[in-house]
Amino acid sequence: MATRQRESSITSCCSTSSCDADDEGVRGTCEDASLCKRFAVSIGYWHDPYIQHFVRLSKERKAPEINRGYFARVHGVSQLIKAFLRKTECHCQIVNLGAGMDTTFWRLKDEDLLPSKYFEVDFPMIVTRKLHSIKLPTLLIAECVLVYMTPEQSANLLKWAANSFERAMFINYEQVNMGDRFGQIMIENLRRRQCDLAGVETCKSLESQKERLLSNGWETASAVDMMELYNRLPRAEVSRIESLEFLDEMELLEQLMRHYCLCWATKGGNELGLKEITY
């Protein structure tokens, strides 16, 4: 992350303290403070567009004295930080001990007040959670991969991906409509090559492909067979590739294309419009 005049990085360091049961109460204060700040921001005590990405809004209303106390805390600490940064012209470093879900780094960046270096120190569990939240949106791609896994294995992979990334998209290209005679011939041919499609059960239809994604944590799922996709290609490109060589049996191409599909699923990323992606 950088401003116009200088580079600045956010580095998270894990505490060397052991994360045993004795620390649980201390780690719990991070959640308490974060929820209080999130609520105060939600009703207008101060502006913080970043805290929503780290903390869910609690249904429990916080007492006015709690909200005002947090306002004074945030305002006071912020004023001292900015005073130090201005005196040093940002040629300094900040070490935020027990940073939790604090969003000071991003708020300083918005005001062009980032120091040369910014460090955060906290329990490994808290640091990991925060790093997970600030990672960029993730695209996962699998081309003829899931079909070689058992349905249970591919489900576990999809579930892991959905649980691991807040804003993500999964693209899957593989077989479909494998229950008909043409599909059976494909399976038999591959078996002769000692290649077993362990996950063919989930390749019965476009619906089964979408259902697998939706049942394993993905919020949206779409699928098209490759013939439908081929028909949507720009006509100029289709004319160009079809002029490269003569195709004697168009029916065979259609059969083949109807037995492969392109699927995609999304999770989160509403602000990016991920759900609107289509082919």
Instruction: Detail the residues annotated as belonging to a binding site for S-adenosyl-L-methionine.
Output: 73, 98, 143
Between strands 260-267 and 220-225, the pairing is antiparallel
Q: Which strand (E) or helix (H) includes residue 11? A: strand 9-14
In Å, the largest CA–CA distance within the chain is 80
Those residues whose C-beta lies under 8 Å from the C-beta of residue 118, and which sit 6 or more positions away, are 8, 9, 10, 11, 93, 94, 96, 105, 108
Other C-beta atoms lying within 10 Å of the C-beta of residue 23: 14
Q: Which residues are annotated as a binding site?
A: 73, 98, 143
**In Å, how far from its chain's centre is CA 232?**
29
For residue 30, give the nearest of 121, 114, 117, 136 by alpha carbon. Answer: 121
Residue 78, phi then psi, degrees to nearest 5: -60, -40
Give φ, ψ of 199 to 5 degrees. -110, 20
Number of H helices, E strands in the chain: 10, 7
The count of residues in the chain is 279
- Cα separation, 107 vs 89, in Å, equals 17
DSSP string, 24-86: HHHHHHHHHHHHHHHHHHHTTSS--SSGGGTSPPPSSPPPHHHHHHHHHHHHHHHHHHHHHHH
